[in-house]
A and B are shown apart, each in its own frame.
Chain A
Amino acid sequence: MSMKHETPLLDELEKGAFPSFVKEIKRAAEHSEYAQDLLGQLELSYKEKVTHWKHGGIVGVRGYGAGVIGRYSDIPDKFPGVAHFHTVRVNQPSGFFYTTKALREICDIWDKYGSGLTNMHGSTGDIILLGTNTENLEPIFAELSSRGWDLGGSGSAVRTPSCCVGAARCEWANIDTMAITHEITMRFQDELHRPMFPYKFKFKVAGCAVDCIASIARADMSIIGTWKGDIQIDQAEVKNYATNGMDIQAEIIDMCPTGCMSWDGNELKIDNSNCNRCMHCIAKMTKALRPGKEKGATILLGSKAPIVTGALMSWVIVPFMKMEPPYEELFDLVDRIWEFWDEHGKNRERVGELIERLGFPTFLRETGIEPHPAMVKEPRRDPFFFWTEADIEK
């Protein structure tokens, strides 16, 4: 198919070394009217420096309130191919592993009913099928779900949980991130597909404090693998690093944030009681150092992007939790947090913002969590604290 619209500005982005999204849209445009008109409309946006998408229309599949992002062109007469251009969020398998057979199956369905354009993946983790019209939504869902695929979350619902590769291919994983993510996803299918919260709720699971899934920055609940006990040292391998040119004093000892390591040219020592498990030494000497043997996770709560009251990062709620199936301790905690949020949360208030508004102690009291110094960077600076009836002598 020849291209329907002239796209001189976009053509410029076909040049250059990095893979080109324009080439991708043009490839799809060989067989897709959607992609043809997407090129036209996008060229216009490049020319006018303004978006041409409308904020309009709630669409979805029967019985679900989530999984489809409705999108309409604001100039459908010019670009009828993208008059409707809805996104279908397909829940990715944990860890983003695929067989080619499975991927081809999704591609075939998408070629038949949609634009042939995708995002692999959306920043939350879903497979994003980018652009179809309202009539196609039910057929797509039937085709996908009959082959074992389901939609992800959107709106004020549990959003599709995601995780780092974890134990599948990383020696630092303290917890089985892929299994935990799958369990959470299966457990909360109803909460994922039928928005009923004050706002969105995201889970992200990282195997260690390197946090390759950025859970601490963008999950309402961040589950980050950690350990108790001593870092395991293979002294022979430490020496190999030194022999092979690593300046252990400068690159390891001096960069340890807690100053808890020493190296005399022969033996590496760690004062484990002062280690805060930042992962620096382990990440730099992966052959020589390994996390301690008692594995679990730190649970943090509350991160979000700057909208509405400024960005938050998740902070510690449970310093250490064992993470073994069936994860009842975790699910019990989630239930208590959601109950608190459900009771007090305002519309469009993330759980982190709610805790800020009502106070961290109030949250702890209502969810029955004991205070612990790991929860704060420092105690309060002011003398304006509250007591309850139980604390007062009558």
Chain B
Amino acid sequence: MSEPWFGRPVPRNEDSRLLTGRALFVDDVDAPGMLHVAFVRSTLAHARILSIDLSAAAQRPGVVAVFSAEELGDFWQHGPLLVQPPPIEGLVFNQRTQPLLARDKVRHVGEPIAVIVAENRYIAEDAAEDVWVEYEPLDAVGDLERALEPGAPLVHEDLGSNISAHVVQKKGNYEDARARADLVITRRFHYDRGVSAALENRAYVAQWNARQRELTLWDTTQAPIPIRNGLARMLGLSEFQVRVVAPFVGGGFGPKIMMFYPEEVLVPWLAMKLEAAVKWTEDRRENFFATTQERGQVHDAEIALTRDGRILGVQDRFLHDGGAYDPYGLTVPINSQCTLLGPYVVPNYASEFTAVFTNRTLVTPVRGAGRQHGVFVIERLLDIAARELGIDPVEIRRRNFIPPDAFPWDNEVIFQDSAPLVYDSGDFAAVLDRALEIIGYDTFLREEQPRLRAEGRHVGIGVVAYVEGTGIGPYEGARVSVETDGSVSVATGVGTQGQGHFTTLAQVVADPLGVDVADVRIVTGDTREFRWGTGTFASRGAVAAGNACHAAAVAVRDKIVRLAADILGAPPDDIVVANGHAGVRGDAARRMPLGELAARANPLRGAVKPGTEPGLEATAYFGAERGATASGVHAMIVDVDPDTAMVKILRYVVVHDCGRVINPLILDGQIHGGVAHGIGNAFYEKLVYDENGQLLTGSFMDYLLPTSLDVPDIETAHHETPSPLNPLGVKGAGEAGVIPGGALFAQAVENALAERGIEIREIPLSPNLLFTLLVEAERRP
């Protein structure tokens, strides 16, 4: 038996296409007579629309059609609610989803008001400038606390308040715990907004074949199947008449999920209406205003502990900035609420949040999806408690870890997938120890830090832990087929945005089928190839689609064995499937290539046994009762210049447990990218809005993505605690790198500047903010 593909650092099957410029991205799609779209967008955050004058735009040569809400007629509608709120007692959720085009009122800068269709994009944009919109400006809702005060301007006037949702989750009795505590720490924490900044902006190309009555939409979505289903409903078509293709997608990171963005619905509608191919590609400026964002929250948190640092309870009340509409339900704040519990025994927990409508771009999950905030709050509280109690920050974490023999561990709260938050597995202390060993924690504190400090340098270390609920349901599926040339084709419903599905899923099926990974062709994100599934999000591709591929491959292997046993005249137990052949164990001469077996499995003449299914093909589905629990520890050493408030990262270590590793090369890549994103969120990236709801950092000149000079080399190690909830034992890894970034920056920078006595309670910690904290600390008596 050759070495298994599972677990090997195989280079990727998809790379040669991407490296030669021959991979298809949505904006690459071309069609004869294709029309191009531009949107007229609100220039104000909050205003009544008094009038819209399309006449000049309609008359511009090259313009084909112009629509505002009024011209959409019966098709004008609000987008669907994408995620139902979980079944939590007393939950309040006020559904206000985005309209296709604003009518009467605009609620954030960039909200689409009118759509122009023209012969090319240049003309469409010229015509968008011709549209005259008369507004009555209204006060904008931005600050989360002021939004809830009486008399505040209302984003949705019919609602009577700016409350999008209110949720309380409790475990035990926090008040009792607090009464027993030796130490109670109370703090307010802020976490602000950023963009996902996929390098590819959104794009949609739709083609309506009027003769065959078939619609094809090329869509930069992470979830083509839900988009197909929803569009069919909205456009009055059967699901079989709609094909949604998510080809290569240039980064997802959350906002490309099944959003039913206005542009995503209008482009196919226009294609049908105008009986033409229609394309819209977002530009970067639009991306800053019209693609969803994340991360604005304010937490008032409290932790109660014994004097030896054991957590008795945590209380957290937070406000969540939901933006102007709430189509994605409560996923982000629920993730914050649940992820706060981390890898720790928290016997009593009282958490309450209010999601607030604001006159800002919509908030939906962005890599991490609210988990950052929870990790930031609990890790900061533990850091402050450790300082107050005179306990080493690593030690206080260790004392509170859930022990490895305590799984499954019920947190007694409801998670984003509507299931109870029960951790399936983990070994938090082992992960911590490995991280400490790699970064040399003791040596750093004992020798390096004193030596460097004596040289006048401000070096510090941070170590934070987190848990990530991954691989949530409901399910994914896959169809695995052996073709007559001996190659294997796999179709699955998830889309791909760089995660390496063409390789990892190939590794999963190559082992049971005894073929080379290079001979496995994976198709993702084409609803014509696979009809069922939900999408790529929540670090679930490897868990859901991976296990579905595995199950289908095992079923095909069974077919191969049965057929080969018949043909070769040997008992099934003696059939070996390896090296592209099925053969009889111990008899090298009696074997048959898989391609030939595939041909024999699809006879053109003669009778077959009743009940025989043709082909070496099987379809299987996988859904776990709940998600798989990934966990990790990040450790970082920084060198801070207190004069410039710049932070240089000297070392960054990630030890991560995502269960069994399919491909360490790809896994490390996922971690590297996540860490870079986390560094950006923690220190560089910030969406700054003024009091009128205008974004001041709406370009890559103003909004700073980390560059190759800002992201250090990241040292990774993996601890494997297989998930007991799926046959492959895998857990998700896509978001692990990004989650603890803020908490880690805060701890390491504080440690570096220990003598200055600053306390970091806000992320992003820009050089500006750090400088302000240093000046304030100096002024304090």
Q: Is A bound to B?
A: no
List B residues at the A interface (Cβ < 8 Å).
none
